[in-house]
Chain A
């Protein structure tokens, strides 16, 4: 149970090399090995989405992926997305709409919502609700989150149209 494996990967643009326990999950790797505490553990079954991060451009559940499988991968967490400014507008919409209360689901929710911005730029409110249905929020009732994502989509479409 304590077999270790060496991995080298890129996390938020920085190269990282570690020897990890083969059973270590990505979210625990990020939190305990790298101190990146933005992704959270909540259900540990891949149901709630609080641990969602990006691996090679795709949103994944950090509690279902083993760190040992990530040699050569590119991982982006909420910290990286914040520093790069990629989702600054979405984050500002979340603040403006109070789309976060306790904030525990928020990093995972943002990574999922960021996916909508690129994958479904014309998403309706119903489609936004469908898209974020794998990310549980116990505080907001979701409406403010849907509002924030919708605001961001509209703003981006307007910016595109002006261009």
Chain B
């Protein structure tokens, strides 16, 4: 617990104060540049002597690189140089993506370009550097690379079977990681059950489709031995460390600058070999190298996610109480675990999160993580959450059917009581304070269930099949070092903020967390304005430059508001105290008798204005000679924050989906969607609502449209936005968002994350709604995405 100050001393309860910004829908200060086309994404940056990289990528899922002839490529006008794997390996050490706390985990060393074998179709094999991207692509086209195609292990189901192609022979087999969590007596619980339901679910392999593709400019300066990287990344300090370590440089000689980022969702928090290759080439050439992935490259080399088969069983007693969950998860992650977060974390999260909203005693869940010759998978928005929620909520609906119970009633009966906290889940997750019942109550205020059920019954008479589906979920946010640091990954779980008051009374806040469009800079400005006591327009926020901001983790696992926000609040409070100490000396008053309101030092008791901050700034910076000699006058403060009591701040919520299935075409029409979530203290309700809505739509994408489809040879068939479907405006429903606020006691701010909630619950809500719609026809779908083809097969319309 934080004991520096109490909410009362800060005035968090005084929401009527003019500069009380926490909880207000303040517009984002950086939105105007976005709407005027004046943002700075990585590709918008250009530098003197800049050259452009393009890659020849493997056309085979698995192939030996027999020979590379670069002579014709080097003759292409504009081509400057061609790099092969050995060139880059000379300056860059390979990396192995394992975490020590994931016991038994293994993976193979990975190089910027593969030395001998390509192990997925789309893996970068040779790099061409040229004066323009077009010339670099001409150079790639002129390369002559001979591949010897090798048998590919594509299907994860057979990756461990006898006779499977072992992708990295030195590992012995294709098993990356397996873990079983077991609590209670699962066998006895199933033996004593009134009913047991069982099903196998599939979640489709999909990807983030950031509209701005992965983008990087590496700029090695031989004069001072520094590497400056302009990078579309979520974790600048992590990347600084990675570049330095792999390129054998001092971390202080590497600087990562990350201005505007055009979407990330977890896709841009990983180490990509082609991006490492760019850094290597810049170091070798001593000039800036730019690489912007095109869409084809993005589909074949951005991380994919959610390629899972999950079989689950749920045991219930005669009253509908849950006795035990028994779950078996299998996932294929491609040929390498992705550095440094590892590709085992998604499966590990499935083990951590299944059954999460419910009170029950007996639990067994196993995840098995295997290699395959497909693009690598890793963490994407709401890591593992939609998978765990799909199996859990799918089984809950099956149990309700088996018992003849109402689907809301069975949830009400089994959700962990709101007064049960703190408690530990059967999977070992520590919950500080959740609000499942309050959230369900709130949802039922919003969803007109009786009206919908009446409409559903009426429509069915006319051959129109509509369904209502529910999904409760938990969401892991505010991660501590128990997520990565404990496993040896140099990913900061703490974050810092430096705030400084300038002579004009304005405040600059520099934060280690980053802005990818979610509004981080807006909420930091609100928090700092609130904490110091200035108008929000007086706060300027700096993020995304490792040379200037405090060392921190960046954006992942919903840590911006909860971790970065608390650091900002504490630094703002410290700055306010410092300002008031100086003001006290100037006004011959005790600092404690003064306050700051809207940029003015005031008498705390009467509210009477005493001095504008600009006047205080003028004297401190320009006429410091008039102040007492021993007065501490640093109008700059830094605070760092890390959670201490709980490894994660869990949030919770519940979603409902109302949709119509066209049983003739198999098409799903979304009618309405609801989400109630509890992210602790809401700093900016408008931004939270839009985070939730955007998250829901990404969940809908995985449930209905998005799918990285491979053929049996490991050829990716969905390589353009014409093949890979993402949600469009016309198909999306109106989404109603409601909030319950249970602030975390770990921080003064009390904020938890909100970015994953929508994605975590939407697929399960959609699945349950589809199955509710088609239940009268005796059909059920359990494999995502729920395409028309799959729905028609379930209905028996097509074989």
Chain A residues with CB below 8 A from B389, complex form = none
CB pair B729–A42 under 8 Å, yes or no, is no
Task: Render A94-109 as a binary contact track against B, CB cut-off 8 A, 1 for contact.
Answer: 1111101111111100
CB contacts (< 8 Å) of B519 on chain A: these are 98, 101
Q: Which of A60-119 contact B (CB under 8 A)?
A: 77-79, 82, 91, 94-98, 100-107, 110
With A42-B212, A42-B295, A104-B41 in contact, do A139 and B263 touch (Cβ < 8 Å)?
Answer: yes
With A38-B36, A79-B36, A142-B732: A98-B690 Cβ-Cβ less than 8 Å: yes
Closest-CB distance, B759 to chain A (whole angstroms): 11
Q: Is the CB of A138 within 8 A of B729?
A: no
User: Is B295 a contact of A45 with CB atoms below 8 Å?
Assistant: yes
The distance in angstroms between the C-alpha atoms of A139 and B292, with both chains bound, is 20
Asked whether B34 is an interface residue with its Cβ less than 8 Å from the other chain, the reply is: yes
Does B37 contact A129, Cβ atoms closer than 8 Å? no
A143 at the interface (CB under 8 A from B): yes
Q: A96-B27, A103-B34 are in contact. Are A143 and B722 (CB under 8 A)?
A: no
Residues of B within 8 A of A98 (CB): 27-28, 31, 519, 686-687, 690
Q: Chain B residues near A105 (CB, 8 Å)?
A: 211
Q: How large is the interface on B (under 10, 10 to 19, 20 to 34, 35 or more residues)?
A: 35 or more
A107 touches B735 (CB 8 A): no
- How many residues of A sit at the interface, in one of the four size bands? 35 or more
Q: B720 contacts the other chain (Cβ, under 8 Å)?
A: yes
Closest approach, in angstroms, between the C-beta of A12 and any C-beta of chain B? 11
A2, B77: Cβ atoms closer than 8 Å: yes
Interface mask (B28-40 → A, CB under 8 Å = 1, otherwise 0):
1001111111111
B209 in complex: contacting residue of A130, A138, A143, CB < 8 Å: A138
A140 at the interface (CB under 8 A from B): yes
- In the docked arrangement, what's the CA distance between A79 and B768, Å? 46
Assess whether B34 is in contact with A100, with CB atoms less than 8 Å apart: yes
> Nearest Cβ in chain B — how far from A122, in angstroms?
18
Q: Does A10 contact B (CB under 8 A)?
A: no
Q: Which residues 1-48 of A sit at the B interface, judged by CB distance below 8 A?
A: 1-2, 21, 23-24, 31-32, 36-45, 47-48
The majority secondary structure among interface residues of chain A is: loop
Given contacts A40-B211, A43-B720, A141-B735, contact A106 B27 (CB under 8 A): no
A136 touching B732 by the CB < 8 A rule? no
Enumerate chain B residues within 8 angstroms of A55, measured Cβ to Cβ: none
User: Is A153's CB within 8 Å of the partner chain B?
Assistant: no
- Using a CB–CB distance below 8 Å, which chain A residues touch chain B? 1-2, 21, 23-24, 31-32, 36-45, 47-48, 50, 77-79, 82, 91, 94-98, 100-107, 110, 126, 128-130, 132-146
CA–CA, A94 and B28, complex, Å: 11
Q: Are A110 and B721 in contact (CB under 8 A)?
A: no
Contacts of B39 in A (CB 8 A): 103
Of A37, A129, A144, A145, which is within 8 A of B730 by CB? A129
Bound form: Cα–Cα A130–B730 in Å: 5
| Contact (A140, B690) CB under 8 Å given A43-B721, A48-B211, A103-B262 | yes
Judged by a CB distance under 8 angstroms, whether B444 is at the interface is no
Query: What 0/1 readout, one digit per residue, does chain B (229-273) give for beta carbons within 8 Å of chain A?
Result: 000000000000000000000000000000011111100000000
Interface contact A102-B211, CB-CB below 8 Å: yes
A residues less than 8 Å from B260 (CB atoms): 102-103
Top 5 A-B residue pairs of the complex, sorted by shortest distance between their CB atoms: A38-B37, A103-B34, A102-B517, A104-B262, A78-B37
Which B residues touch A126, using CB under 8 A?
730
Asked whether A138 lies within 8 Å of B698 as measured between CB atoms, the reply is yes
Distance between B337 CB and nearest chain A CB, rounded to angstroms = 26
Known interface pairs A91-B32, A139-B517. Does A104 touch B693 (Cβ–Cβ under 8 Å)?
no
Q: For window 408-431 of chain B, which residues contact chain A by CB distance below 8 Å?
A: none
| Nearest opposing residue in chain A for B265, CB measure | A138
Which residue from A102, A129, A132 sits with its C-beta under 8 Å from B516? Answer: A102
Which chain A positions have C-beta within 8 A of B32? 91, 95
Residue of B nearest to A82 (CB): B36
